[in-house]
Chain A
Amino acid sequence: MPATTLSKTAAHDPRVFDLDEMSLRELNQALHNLAPGSNETAWEVLNPKGSHSVAVGVDQPVAIDVRGSVGYYCGGMNSGSAITVHGSAGPGVGENMMSGSITVKGDASQYAGATGKGGLLVIEGNASSRCGISMKGIDIVVHGNIGHMSAFMAQSGNLVVLGDAGDALGDSIYEARLFVRGKVDSLGADCIAKEMRTEHLELLQGLLDRAGVTGVKPSEFKRYGSARTLYNFNIDNADAY
């Protein structure tokens, strides 16, 4: 395919970008050029081969299928698009996502969903350390396990883990809610297990439904959140800082 042409075989076929033939810059520029209401709602990215910053800053409600694994920051600052990575994702997938969704069919590296403000991030494999770090409203559902220091300084939103969590889960957490089905190696400073009330079971069921998780009951999870003892400085808590 020539470097400057797009394949578009039929009206409803996806617009295909082959990163072996075209540059990352051309891909992101084309996505940013989308006008509100554009009928180019389906996109397909071929041969990502670990490229960084694939489909970052997209602000239109289009579907983007990435056929392969991506490097850092795929879907960064996503605002409304639905991105599916048919492979694994490098560090910072969905960082600072505003809205929309990102689904990773494989595993995710560090900082998945870091500082995310909204939208839904689904990792169908495992996520590495610092998953949901500094999250600010995003919902994250991980089918597998998550690594250490996940939900560090998590401010708002929900992190759902169907597997296990590593050390120091939720260290210095603010108001984010953490739901873990498996074991937690250890909790971080000011993070405690909390009662799972009816409202939380309903919330969790909704998150599982949105993430396409079946055969798993909310009652199988434990809830974790902030003890709120570090919200205002007290010298007697100095050892916890």
Chain B
Amino acid sequence: MTYRNPPTTPRKSATFDDYTLSEIRRAAATGIYDIRGAGAKRKLPHFDDLLFLGASISRYPLEGYRERCDTSVVLGSRHAKKPIELKIPITIAGMSFGSLSGPAKEALGRGATLSGTSTTTGDGGMTEEERGHSKQLVYQYLPSRYGMNLRDLRRADAIEVVVGQGAKPGGGGMLLGQKISDRVAEMRTLPKGIDQRSASRHPDWTGPDDLEIKILELREITDWEKPIYVKVGGARPYYDTALAVKAGADVVVVDGMQGGTAATQEVFIENVGQPTLACIRPAVQALQDLGMHRKVQLIVSGGIRNGADVAKALALGVDAVSIGTAALVALGDNDPRWEAEYNELGTTAGAYDDWHEGRDPAGITTQDPELMKRVDPVAAGRRLANYLKVMTLEAQTIARACGKNSLHNLEPEDLVALTIEAAAMAGVPLAGTNWIPGKNGF
């Protein structure tokens, strides 16, 4: 009987893991970078790394369900004659008609309106579905200016000048030919079926001094009625926030790298920009340094999932949050009920992100007339409203436990961090210590 040396267990590389190997093979076979939807999927420091302290002997709580905990917020009070008043500090982020189906846009409007909050157009203009079903609609002013027109600008409730988004700070939009239907092509003044590449810079202004003049023009066109937001990707949140304020913004929107996109290169999504958690304190600090905190409102988006995330963002000094990916999930995106069809597309429920291909089994990220019938705008809008209600109740539960009669009274002192990274980013102590990395010389 021959003796065989015991073998070692086959060992895969941590550097060249299965996903990396599959991507190298895919690139070699196709010669094109991978394009997908959604935001960064890598593990990042996030709100999960923060905990609330709750009440104790030194702080007493409010009675749950009895004592009032205000959730309302006013956006745009700096300059606008008609600021937006929201019942909850959770808004629906900009997502385009074109990337989303008409019924999906209608459902977002219905859900937001039922919840007393706003929804937002996207890089494709304003549709009748969303205007008609959205009590408060934010109209995005994008580099492409697809569908931009005077009538829609004046019937918007606020205007959001989009400089960038978290999934791709410095990148332009992308909508591949499969989704450029007749209606989408007409709204964007493009030939049907082409691969649309939006500009990454605005065509008629560059830099903060120009932006100030552009904002003045938008205010003059709309008779100073509407709040003007400036949205930036999570690149340089301190300076971007300060420059947006200097340019005259009523509201600054900062979108971290977990914020979704309809279609962008995977390499861009995963490697450019900063995590949402890392963006908040610098943005708040900029407002505080300028004496504009709570005067210019701050909205943060990118990976907001539940009421705890909302409460944590507000405790760090944010005025409101925006949700995109989570809102789509509430409508029915990536629902396991379509698992067989996800499998046919080579994926699985929960991982489907080829939103640019227009074959979404859930009927949300598609322009296919048959697939989009799967979205019942009334029922999907109701689900979104339910979800927003739950998030709000969750945030209120936490706020009352911290003794706060308004979500906006939450403060950094209510938080600790579980990791050194999160403590440094959020500027709150590491749990069990009074150490805030980077503060007091340490």
Hey, which bits of chain A sit against chain B, CB under 8 A?
24-25, 28-29, 32, 52-53, 56-57, 59, 71-73, 76-77, 79, 91-92, 95-96, 98, 110-111, 114-115, 117, 130, 133-134, 136-137, 152-153, 155-156, 172, 174-175, 231-233, 235
Q: Which of A32, A98, A136 contacts B189 (CB 8 A)?
A: A136
- B205-231 vs A: 1/0 string, CB under 8 Å? 100001001101100111110000000
**A156 partner residues in chain B, CB cutoff 8 A:** 189
Quick check: A232 and B195 within 8 Å, CB to CB?
Answer: yes
What string of 1s and 0s marks CB contacts (under 8 Å) between B317-332 and chain A?
0000000000000000
CB distance from B370 to the nearest CB of A (A): 24
Assuming the A-B contacts A115-B145, A231-B195, are A155 and B190 also in contact, with contact meaning beta carbons closer than 8 angstroms in the complex? yes
Of B146-154, B298-306, B404-412, which binds chain A? B146-154
- CB distance A115 to B194 under 8 Å? no
Question: Do the beta carbons of A76 and B195 come within 8 Å of each other?
Answer: no
From the candidates A76, A153, A174, name the one contacting B221 in the complex (CB within 8 A). Answer: A76
The B153-193 residues at the A interface (CB cut-off 8 A) are 153-154, 176-177, 189-191, 193
Q: Is A136 within 8 A of B224, CB to CB? A: no
Are B224 and A25 interface neighbours, CB within 8 A?
yes
Shortest CB–CB separation between residue B145 and chain A, in angstroms?
A: 4
Q: Which residues of B contact A77 (CB under 8 A)?
A: 149-150, 153, 221
Q: Residues 10-42 of chain B: 1 if any A CB is under 8 Å from the residue's CB, otherwise 0? A: 000000000000000000001110000000000
Q: Shortest Cβ distance from B201 into chain A, in angstroms? A: 10
- Kindly provide the distance from the CB of B381 to the nearest chain A CB, expressed in whole angstroms: 32
Q: A28-B220, A111-B204 are in contact. List 6 more A-B contacts (CB 8 A).
A: A57-B221, A72-B214, A72-B217, A91-B204, A96-B148, A110-B204
CA distance A137 to B187 in the complex (A): 12
Q: Is the interface of B mostly helix, strand, loop or mixed?
A: loop
The minimal Cβ–Cβ distance linking A225 to chain B, given in whole angstroms, is 12
Chain B residue contacts of A153, Cβ below 8 A: 199, 203
Give the nearest-CB partner of A112 in chain B: B204
Which residue, B32, B153, B203, B221, has most C-beta atoms of chain A within 10 A? Answer: B203
When the two chains form the complex, which single residue of A59, A76, A115 contacts B217, counting CB atoms closer than 8 Å?
A: A76
Q: Would you mind naming 9 contact pairs between A and B with Cβ atoms under 8 Å apart?
A: A29-B223, A56-B221, A73-B204, A76-B221, A91-B210, A95-B204, A115-B148, A153-B199, A174-B190
Chain A residues, CB < 8 A from B32: 233, 235
Chain A residue with Cβ nearest B35? A233
Q: Check if A174 sits within 8 Å of B177, measured CB to CB.
A: no
A57 touches B222 (CB 8 A): yes
Main secondary structure of the interface of A (DSSP, over half): loop
The 8 closest A-B pairs by CB, nearest first: A57-B221, A235-B31, A92-B204, A115-B145, A231-B194, A111-B204, A114-B204, A136-B189
Determine how close the nearest CB of chain B comes to the CB of A40; give it in whole angstroms: 18
Q: Which residues of A contact B77 (CB under 8 A)?
A: none
Q: Which residues of B contact A137 (CB under 8 A)?
A: 189
Q: Which residues of B contact A (CB under 8 A)?
A: 30-32, 144-145, 148-150, 153-154, 176-177, 189-191, 193-195, 197, 199, 203-205, 210, 213-214, 216-217, 220-224
Residues on the A chain within 8 Å of B222, using CB: 57
Minimum C-beta distance from B51 to chain A (A): 46
Task: Report yes or no: B191 in contact with A25, Cβ–Cβ below 8 A.
Answer: no
Contacts of A72 in B (CB 8 A): 210, 213-214, 217
Min CB distance, A188 to chain B, in Å?
Answer: 13
How far is B144's CA from A92's CA once the two chains are assembled, in angstroms? 15
Q: How far is the CB of A25 from chain B (nearest CB, A)?
A: 7
A25 to B197, CA, bound (A): 37
CA distance in complex: A52, B199 (Å):
25
CB distance from A157 to the nearest CB of B (A): 9
Known A-B contacts A73-B214, A134-B145; the reply to A232 vs B221 at CB < 8 A is no
Instruction: Write out the residue numbers on chain B whose beta carbons fall within 8 Å of the beta carbon of A232.
Output: 177, 193-195
- What residues of chain B lie closer than 8 Å to A111, measured between beta carbons? 203-204
A231→B150 CA distance, assembly (Å): 29
Bound CA span A129–B205, Å = 13
Residue of B189, B203, B210 near A130 (CB, 8 A) is: B203
Q: Which residues of B sit under 8 angstroms from A133, Cβ to Cβ?
A: 203-204
Chain A residues positioned under 8 Å from B199 (CB to CB)? 134, 153
* A59-B204 contact in complex given A72-B213, A155-B190, A174-B190, C-beta closer than 8 Å: no
Closest-by-CB residue of B relative to A113 is B204
How distant is A169 from chain B, measured CB to nearest CB, in Å? Answer: 16
- Cα A152 to Cα B172 with chains together (Å): 15
CB nearest to B31 among chain A residues: A235
Q: Contacts A57-B150, A115-B145, A232-B195 given: A24-B220 contact, CB under 8 Å?
A: yes
Please state if B144 and A25 are interface contacts (CB–CB under 8 Å): no
Tell me whether A53 and B145 are in contact in the complex, defined as CB-CB below 8 angstroms, given that A25-B224, A92-B204, A235-B31 are known contacts: no
A10 and B56 CA atoms in complex are apart in Å by 78
CA distance A155 to B198 in the complex (A): 11
Q: Which residue of B lies closest to A32 (CB)?
A: B223
Given the contacts A52-B217, A134-B144, A235-B32, A28 and B223 also touching, CB distance less than 8 Å? yes
Given contacts A28-B223, A77-B221, contact A52 B213 (CB under 8 A): yes
Instruction: Please tell me if the beta carbons of A73 and B213 are within 8 angstroms of each other in the complex.
Output: yes
* Smallest CB separation, B82 vs chain A (Å): 15
User: Is there contact, CB below 8 Å, between A115 and B191?
Assistant: no
Task: Report chain B residues within 8 Å CB of A95.
Answer: 203-204
